Structures are given as structure tokens and as C-alpha cells.
A and B are shown apart, each in its own frame.
Chain A
Amino acid sequence: GAVVSQHPSWVICKSGTSVKIECRSLDFQATTMFWYRQFPKQSLMLMATSNEGSKATYEQGVEKDKFLINHASLTLSTLTVTSAHPEDSSFYICSVRGTAYYEQYFGPGTRLTVT
């Protein structure tokens, strides 16, 4: 399966600033990536589907202007949380869709804390 990394693993930022999270597919050409959000001891919620070279598709209720996703290459997708607020504090996980549509390989996640 694909090896997926995320950077940073943990970030603390001040309220009102923006923060960028990177998701890299290290050994697989990722045409499609997914971004999830997870609150402590809760489920993963799909935020958006990121397709290489095109605009991301956001799930209902996710603010596209707040969570900017860019998938400019087959190995990198980025999630930028703009004007972050304490309620944006969460665990963000990306995944890469494999050769088969049912395959999905997850990154280790990024913990965002907004103070």
C-alpha cells in the first residue's frame, strides 16, 4: 500500500492566523486524496475530496473559504486553515485513494491547537 506522511504532526497557532498542513504520498501517485477531521474520542468526519489538478469537493457544512485545499501534484495535497479560531482545534487526517477505489491509505494525522 501507499505510504502517507503529514507535516507537521502537531502545530500550535494563535487565533486569527493561518496554518498549512501538508499531506504527502511518498511512493504512490495520488490522484485523489481525502481530508478528515476528528475530535477527541470521536469519529472521523470527511471534510473534502482533493483531486490532483482540480478544485476540491467539499462536504456539506464545511466552509471552503476557511479550509483551503490545494492538490497541485500527484504527491502533495495541502490543507490551509485560514483565520483559525479555537473551535478549529482538532486532529486532521489525510488519506490517499489507492489503485482500487475501495483502497484508502491514511496519514498519521496532524494535531492543531489554536490558542
Chain B
Amino acid sequence: AQTVTQSQPEMSVQEAETVTLSCTYDTSESNYYLFWYKQPPSRQMILVIRQEAYKQQNATENRFSVNFQKAAKSFSLKISDSQLGDTAMYFCAFMFAGGTSYGKLTFGQGTILTVHP
């Protein structure tokens, strides 16, 4: 079974600064996807970024980028130029890309990020 670990329960950052959220995972599979989801106070889950395990290049979406270290099984999220609207709970998630588990998400414990003005 896959496990996803987020070791930072809470983090805070000043507006316009950069913050990095950590995530590690454990799997014996080689073909999978990793995600970062954002859950603001509304509790609506929003996809932030996706990384395919077979791609060496780190995914980037505007101010959001990841540092994917496959050998180390590490998948951190960097938020640049933090904005007040980035305040949310962030979840790292794993999805095995095959078999009967395809499409099933395993989430980490979450990191509450607060952006201060």
C-alpha cells in the first residue's frame, strides 16, 4: 500500500515571499502520479499541480512549482510570490497508474498554510 507523509502540520509565510511544503511517499510502483491539492476555507478541493512519475522535468503552474526527487521519493511544492488567497490546507496525493487502483487517490495528512499581509 502507498503512504504519503506531510511532516509540516502548519506553516506561515509573509505575503510576496516564497514557501516550500514538503511531502514524501512510499511505493514500490514505478508508474504513478503525484498531486498537490488546495483546500481553502470553503473546503472545495482544487488541483494545484500534477506530476507524472515518468517525467524527469519538474511540473510548473504559474507561481507553483514542484521539486520531484523520484529516487528519494520526495515531492515538495514551492509557492512563489505568496498571496493572501493561497491561505488554505494543502494536500499531497499519490495515484497509482494502473490496475484496479488506477484513479484512487491516497492523501497525506495536509499542511495548513497561512499567508500573512
Contact = CB atoms under 8 A, between A and B. Distances in A.
A91 interface: yes
A42 interface: yes
Interface of B: 33, 42-47, 50, 89, 91, 95, 97, 102-110, 112
A41 B89 contact: yes
Nearest to B42: A108
Contacts of B91: 43-44
B50 to A, nearest CB: 7
A43 B103 contact: no
Interface stretch (A21-29, A62-70, A71-79, A98-106): A98-106
Interface residues of A, number: 19
Contacts of B103: 32, 34, 49, 97, 101-102, 104
B105 to A, nearest CB: 7
A93 interface: yes
Interface string A49-60: 100000000000
A-side interface mostly: strand
B107 A43 contact: yes
Interface of A: 32, 34, 41-46, 49, 91, 93, 95, 97, 101-102, 104, 106, 108-109
A109 B107 CA distance: 16
A26 to B, nearest CB: 15
Contacts of A41: 89, 110, 112
Contacts of B42: 108
A77 to B, nearest CB: 14
Contacts of B108: 43
A90 to B, nearest CB: 12
